[in-house]
Amino acid sequence: MNISDLFEEIWLGVSSNKTRSGLTMLGIVIGIASVIAMLAVGEGSKAQIEANIQSIGSNLLMVQPGAQRGAGMTVSSGRGSSQTLTREDATALITLDGVSTASPEINSRQQIVAKGTNTNTSIVGTTPSYVETRNLTVDTGSFFTDAQVTSRAKVAVIGPTTQTDLFGEGVDSIGQKVRIKNMEFTIIGVTKAKGGSGFTNQDDMVFIPISTMSTYFTGNNFVGTITVKAIDQASMATAQTAITNTLLGRHKIADSTLADFSVLNQSDIASAASSATQTFTILLASIAGISLLVGGIGIMNMMLTTVTERTREIGLRQAIGAEKEEIVSQFLGEAILLTVLGGLIGIGLGFTISWGLNIFMGTSTKVAWSSVGLAFGVSAIIGLIFGYYPAKRAANLNPIQALKYE
């Protein structure tokens, strides 16, 4: 039998019962589409997290206070809970090997009130070096100066989103007064929109001098985080070591395992975030995988029915000289055609679903080509596996009995 004739036989076999073939295929279509869409959701959230981390700025190291630990105590309040870092620590880091700049930060969520409106946003107390550390650009006005930090000036630089929330679209807010915790601040600058969304939207922030924040809000000299910018990617490791050693010295800690701070680099943060999405993606994909398996069982069921129904036809084919291999090829081919066709439609549907999720639900999705290849391969293999038993059964029919089958 020629290959083209075999394909024709397969096509005629599948197309002779369109409703049934279509319904069987639907199982595979849904399975493949859900695998693709679910992987796209996982991939999309991963990409978004990566983008967020990138938007923070590159070559960054975060120094965070360690867990609070009393002498001999084993109860830990968790990372970042203690207050161990000071502005002086930040200053000491600037001159280290591999370090470009370092900025202390105190973060606090506060209600900010303008004339007639108010919003709740993130207040960051910092120093002018923040502009360089975080790659911030001031759009109108200017950032506060070191002198203003020294004098504990009540000035604020706001993000464009905050400006819109408080004053409306396109209003120049320079010189306007806002109140934070009943204290009046004068707006001296607005940052340029940076984009990015999720947990670190730098467009919705208010920056004030760290001294002002310490004096009026927190009442002590401790800082929340010190963000350090390394000179380049290559000097990250050098900088990290230097920071650790300097802070250990300053805090008079001999054993580095007892450090009251931790230095995280971007890849630490990224891997923590991506391991969370990984788990989530695996969960979604395995649910989708189960539906694919069910689709495969549907194929086997239908092929067994077909073989039984077409027993006489198989008997005839054997009588006119079809060899075992030719019967196997035909029925296996029918199963594979169904799954491959179902797979192709499923890929299309998967793309549509992930596009729809993106457009209508705002979920960020990204269809990875590897998942398309995987889905296609899996559907062909499902056809092969679930089609093999029915095809073998067809080929092993006894022609005499098959011809007499009622």
Residue selected from 22, 57, 80, 399 as contacting other proteins according to rule CB under 8 A: 399
Q: What is the DSSP letter of 145?
A: P
Integer CA distances (angstroms), 276 to 58, 83, 362, 367, 388, in order: 22, 28, 20, 19, 39
Is the dihedral angle over the CA atoms 231, 235, 239, 242 positive or is it negative?
A: negative
Longest distance between any two alpha carbons in the chain, whole Å: 104
Residue selected from 7, 11, 16, 184 as contacting other proteins according to rule CB under 8 A: 16
Q: Which of 227, 217, 391 is nearest to 314 (CA)?
A: 391
**320 near other proteins, rule: CB under 8 A:** yes
Which x/- pattern over 269-308 shows residues binding other proteins (rule: CB under 8 A)?
Answer: ----------------------------------------
Residue selected from 118, 274, 326, 385 as contacting other proteins according to rule CB under 8 A: 326
Contact 207, 122 (CB under 8 A): no
| Rounded least distance, CB 332 to other proteins, Å | 17
User: How many other CB atoms are found less than 10 A from the CB of residue 234?
Assistant: 10
Length of the chain: 406
Contact 152, 211 (CB under 8 A): yes
Which x/- pattern over 104-133 shows residues binding other proteins (rule: CB under 8 A)?
Answer: ------------------------------
Q: What is the DSSP letter of 262?
A: E
Residue selected from 35, 188, 322, 378 as contacting other proteins according to rule CB under 8 A: 322
Contact 223, 90 (CB under 8 A): yes
**171 near other proteins, rule: CB under 8 A:** no
Phi, psi of 176 (to 5 degrees): -75, 155
Residue selected from 9, 89, 165, 204 as contacting other proteins according to rule CB under 8 A: 9
Q: Which stretch binds other proteins (CB under 8 A): 121-129, 184-192, 298-306, 395-403?
A: 395-403
**260 near other proteins, rule: CB under 8 A:** no
Residue selected from 323, 373, 377, 381 as contacting other proteins according to rule CB under 8 A: 323
| Rounded least distance, CB 4 to other proteins, Å | 9
Give the interface with other proteins as residue ranges (CB under 8 A): 1-2, 5, 9, 12, 16, 312-313, 315-324, 326, 399-400, 403
